[in-house]
Structure 1
């Protein structure tokens, strides 16, 4: 049998872990730069595989904790919020805000734990606005660096549904100010309307004379209508020539002086009373639904007490009608989506939904409500460029002004389909100039960016080469700006990590927490240096002491040249500054009864466990004799498995028996790496330098190492590289010498 020999190079791993369905696509770049498995390694933009840093243990989470989100007060001050059942806790600068040592600062919220993942959150300086279809819109406001307050939002002048058009269903009011009773001709009120707004419009002003210039014999208290408003005369006399248009207070309609011919004086003082609309907040509802008690917030027209009007409207949202499911800021307005309705505030006045001027006219900067022409209600929305991107279960839309040269208004807005993939109810994120969302079904990640050539948002499938990586589904996205990474939490508690770059080839690695922990939620917030953001996770795990929920923060990514004694490659870990020769440590209660990885002054002490009382006792002869840094936590393994090598030779070598006769790896600042054939034993690839003392720290190795491969010829030859010690590892390249027969 003829033997052919060739050298195979893997010079980059940017495609990460690829789908098994691509194992036959040896002609693709994804195969050329891909892996069969990429666990706790990250395929970084430059090409190498870098072992991900570990997670620091911060605090035990509340037993009911289910979610993490961000509060971004400024570019240097951000918080992670731990949401529990009707509660919220806050973390910043690497720790938890506490009222006293060990006691969490906590605020009460109305949100049930099961509803928290569906909270729509919009940041605005010192507060976040919150929407959920089961709760009134609200906000959490930062009142100091360590205190917050939750309160329901108080809206002004709406928003309201369309005005009732059934002339047989009318209302009257018992008064025009203060507490009034509103009586209806049909049962239009229910208990769910308590707390909501109600608007009444005068049927007409026909019983009020119009204001006229130079009108004589005006008496104090006379009513006149002008500019759609009603005024009461505050003085007597002859009117002037300036029609009253003010919407508050009292003003003259003339100078109240005589003319040169001694005529006059001309001018009457007019006090604004009301316009066509009045607004009240419902405080109680009669059992039959025919009447309610309400507090007038905007004076009712006087005629509403005697002339029944069918011009009334309920608030768009209430306990009876439901609440909006999405809030965001776009076009200088606060926008809410309530089912299919888009409700936009007055421009620059987020809580004001006044849709008309005091004269009853519509202006471009006033609030407006529009109904979306879509098969399904919005699940998410993001502001982007001059449009809003909106995702539903069946379609993605762009909502933008019809006239791009004019501001968005009720008369200058339209929605247009962009793609037809459909979305999952997972909050999208903005990464650079793109919006990343989860496609319906929870298995595909798409990145939508505006394309000038096609004049639409194109949604690229980020998981096209790794469809398996999202199984069994995605529940949360967390972009990390400083690390140029996108993290996504899977339903099974793993995290997939995707490098953010402009390259054509970019893939995924899987983050598998140590100690069989499951990640429930993740968020990235700015760290205490104000420059880099940290990945925070909420985890659950089973321990000898029972089930636990904890908050972890990923340690900073290691820079080349950093000291090994600060290397942090454990999970649920602690960093302890130990005194010279110290070998007993207490207070490790979250690690009680568990095997741990230990790094003492940069040296690994293997085979250690924490006692049931939370005490760790290290062999005295193995700890440094000088003061040192101890890092202890749950071990985890970084593992990379190559694909079957593809040799670009005439006819290819796929399907032939192959044997890797030798291999080498190019490493960068790596300690403790194992390698070998996937189906054979894995051996150390880095030897201790001959001149290094046996009790000294092993230096980080940079260079080429031989990978011992023990395997028989077969058709599925692959290499596995593993790092199981709490030390750094970076693989820059792999090279195989392959022997193949002709069958």
Structure 2
């Protein structure tokens, strides 16, 4: 059987109609079948990366949850989990959490009871436990807390809601942190998530939808995100205290007099090396009997103009 050297796979997978065309140049740089792989422009081929299960979503009773990418430089890359009226954040293959409290005791019982003084949690909050000494079975686990009081919580399963049975767990020794999963309230119902549109600029993602006002999602920290209604007004403010008074200067030539209503509009202008912007106008009206109108305007200027 003849051996054919294929120096490159840069053409990728070709049509079956070309499988016997050994006379063509594309034959020597292609594949009959390429599945779950990446064709590199320099000719090589490699396996396609797989998916990693980071953890369960918040609500398992709804059918729709959407993931959006948030890319900020080479070091901060996030996955945003949008569900029914909420958003969560994933970074470095883990759920982003709020500041945690130190664990001082864990019971090997059913349910497992965690002691962390002044934890500030409420029934139904979702938490992540890390660096727990001894009881490794709950390390890096996500749980829903119940039976909450000032310093203790009971752990229940994040999906089923069943009490965590710790009777056979390794005894707790010391240390560990309990932190609440970061969550941001949003107005987006689960039924509307499929039609959300996003575009990112720096630290801000603008979100649009046919039935919701446009909103800006702004990141200022791993667990510091704000969602505000977009504003399309200019940043510079209009001048204030605009007044108009009829001129008393008799040096002006008035051709004839008649009552007329005149309106004046004044705006602020921001003119810098990097941008030009005009404010919304401020207006004033005046009844004038001179033609042409001979009036004096005065206003308080915007400091940034």
TM-score, normalised by the number of residues in structure 1? 0.22
Higher relative contact order structure (alpha carbons within 8 Å, sequence separation ≥ 6):
1
